[in-house]
Amino acid sequence: MNRGLRAAAMGVLLLSPIALAACSAGQVAQTATQEQNLGNSADVGQLHLRALELPYPTGGEYTSGANARLLGAIASDATTDDTLVSIEGAAFSSVEIVDPSASSTAGTGSGSGSGLTIPAGGTLFIGNGNGPSVTLVGLSAPVGVGQYVDVTFTFQQAGAVTVSIPVATAARDLPRGEPFDFHGGESSAEGGGA
C-alpha cells in the first residue's frame, strides 16, 4: 500500500511540469498585445487622420435616415496649411459642418466644400466641443457597433483618402436585460408527470 502511494506521488511530480508548461501562455499570448479599437486612422500626404469614429448610438444602432456625428483628429506635418475640400460617401446623403470659429455653417450638401483649415504643424480636432462639428446626414442603411461607414476626405494639397469609420462601443456599462432561464421548461415537465 505504501509502495502504491509512493508511485502515484512520483507520477504526479514527474507529469506536473509538463501540465504546467502547457498552460503557461503568459505575455506571449495573443491577448497580451491586443488593444481597444479607438477608431480608425489613415495617412494622406503629410496629413494623419486619427481616432476616427462615430459615437455609440442610443440603442446600439443608427437607423436608416439617421444622422451621425464624426469624431477624430487630423494632424499635419506639413510646413503650410491645408484645407479639407470635401467629405463624401455612399452611405450618407450629405454632410453638415459647423465651425465655431466661423460665424455660420461651413458647408452642407453632398460632397460639400468644408473650408476647414488644417494648420501647418498642428492638429484639427473634429467633434470634441472646441473644434468643428461634422455630421453625416441621412444614413442610407442601419449601422451599429462593429460596423463601418466608408468616408472619403479630400484635401486641397494632400489629396483624397477613404477611411472605414467604425461605430464606437459604449463608453459606460449598459444595463443588461433579464437573464435567460435555461431551466424554465423543466419545472412544468416535472410537475406534469404521473
What rounded mean pLDDT belongs to the chain? 80
pLDDT class of 65 with cuts at 50, 70, 90: very high
Mean pLDDT of 3-13: 69
pLDDT at residue 99 in the model: 86
Q: 138: domain range?
A: 40-166
pLDDT class of 172 with cuts at 50, 70, 90: low
Per-residue pLDDT at 110 exceeds 50: no
Asked if the structure places residue 20 within a domain, the reply is: no
Mean pLDDT of 74-99: 95
Mean pLDDT of 30-34: 47
Domain count, the chain: 1
Is the pTM value of this prediction over 0.75? Answer: no
Asked if the structure places residue 139 within a domain, the reply is: yes
Strands (E), the chain: 40-44, 47-53, 61-62, 68-76, 82-88, 92-98, 105-109, 113-118, 123-126, 133-139, 143-144, 148-155, 159-166
pLDDT at residue 53 in the model: 94
Asked if the structure places residue 188 within a domain, the reply is: no
Q: For 65, left (φ over 0), alpha (ψ -120 to 50), or beta?
A: left
Asked if the structure places residue 105 within a domain, the reply is: yes
Per-residue pLDDT at 89 exceeds 80: yes
Instruction: Write the CATH number for 66.
Output: 2.60.40.1890
